[in-house]
Structure 1
Amino acid sequence: MKDKILKKAAEKFLTLGVKNVTMDEIAADLGISKKTIYTHFSTKIKLIEATTYHVYENMEKGIKEIGNRDLNAIEEHYVIKDFALSCLKDENSSPQFQLQKYYPKIYSEINKKQKSLMENMLRKNLERGMKQGFYREDIPVNFLCRIYFIQMLGIKDRELFPETEFSTSQLVENQLEYHLRAIVTEKGLETLKSYIHNND
């Protein structure tokens, strides 16, 4: 039952935002009493914290599994992008900013974990891409690991990128292509164009 609660809470939090979902709504969707939820999570904050880590751990596991597959560096980026979007259910910015505003301690801890995960993933991808000849050998790896994370946070700012103009999937797609075009070799550019064309 605990896993079912986490799964349902994640679905609702990602869709509606952590502040907008009540324990009663989660209980009603699961067909259980609110008391049953409190048996596993003593407060809503405890449920939010557990759900946040649940989503992160699923994403971490999936990204590591993708990294162990025999993909070229460019394809790996796109597979990870698609996986992340499926995990986050094409989320808007509301869950992230509500977490940051109302639950800053949880946000800070998960942000550190996300940063570490993304830097590790990107560093391995950059090294793989250089070895495969898809990325330039002179790229500043440390800089790129950090600027990529900043970009991913930045595109979630809905004041800069209003939902009426940009969908989440469009923003992530554009940001990834922007990142790759800055670092690819001629061989990498041809592979990138081919991948975009075949998956358009």
Structure 2
Amino acid sequence: MTIDIRERVLNSMEELAYRKGLIAATMDELAAAAGISKRTLYRYFDSKEKVIEGVVHRLTGRIERDVDAVVDSDLPPPEKLRRIVALIYENIRFIDAIAFQELQKHYPHIWAYIDKFRAARIGRFKKILEEGIQSGYFKAVNPQLTITALLAAVRAIINPDFITRHALSLDDAFKELFNLFFNGISRK
């Protein structure tokens, strides 16, 4: 029963975050959305911060599992990259630029976890890049340099300050960055 309630709370938080924003959602709204009392909610999560941590950890676990499955598949390298970018985007679409900024400001340890996770997962792109170079799909670029540049670009662009300063949506920033990356390495 514990898992069911925890999952309902995390699912409800994702839905509320998509509609209202991650930080704007209240524990009262979360309890109502999950169909439980506030007392029950606090039995499972002693603070909103713990709920947000739960959402982030579940999200990163899902992304890690899905990315690993794509990397280990027999798909051609360009399709692997497209699928990975699509699945990452699909999993983070409920987090807007303001929520990213609020996470960075109010929950710096959660933001640090996200940044560390991004760096570790982007490293998986190196394997795909090397496969693509060997099979002729991608230009003969230096894989380590390319991945390091991509990570630096992700940290600079998929970043709350950059997105809000340049009036971008997370969606636009994400799509443009990876479009630039694909066009830079692809043989046409």
Do Structure 1 and Structure 2 share a fold, with TM-score over 0.5? yes
Say whether residues 1:8 and 2:12 are aligned partners: yes
Change (3 A) 1:50 1:22: same
Counterpart position of 1:17: 21
* 1:60 maps to which of 57, 64, 83: 64
2:93 partner amino acid: K
TM-score, with length taken from structure 1: 0.81
Q: Deviations over 1:126-161 (max 9, x none)?
A: 111112111223x12222212212322333322344
Letter matched to residue 71 of structure 2? G
How do 1:25-174 residues align onto structure 2 when only pairs under 5 Å count? 25-89=29-93, 91-119=95-123, 121-137=124-140, 139-156=141-158, 157-163=162-168, 167-174=169-176
2:173 is paired with a residue whose SS is helix
- Could you tell me how far apart the structure 1 residues matched to 2:131 and 2:30 are? 43
| 1:194 paired residue number | none
Structure 1 residue 21: Cα displacement: 1.1
Structure 1 unpaired stretches of 5+: 190-200
Write the deviation string for residues 134-189 of structure 1: whole angstroms up to 9, x where unpaired: 1223x1222221221232233332234414xxx443433322221122223xxx32
| CA–CA distance in structure 1, aligned partners of residues 113 and 33 of structure 2 | 29
SS of the counterpart of 1:81? helix
In 1, Cα distance between equivalents of 2:136 and 2:178: 19
How far the C-alpha of 1:110 sits from its partner, in A, is 2.6
**CA 1:113–1:140 in structure 2 vs 1: closer, same or farther (change >3 Å)?**
same
Mapped to 2, the partners of 1:168 and 1:74 lie a distance apart of 23
1:81 and 1:15 mapped to 2: Cα distance?
23
Per the TM alignment, residue 15 of structure 1 is displaced from its structure 2 partner at its CA by 4.8
User: In 2, are the aligned partners of 1:10 and 1:55 still within 8 Å (CA)?
Assistant: no
Check conservation: 1:155, 1:161, Cα contact below 8 A.
Answer: no
1:179 alignment partner in structure 2: 181
Counterparts in 2 of 1:14 and 1:142: CA distance versus 1, 3 Å: farther
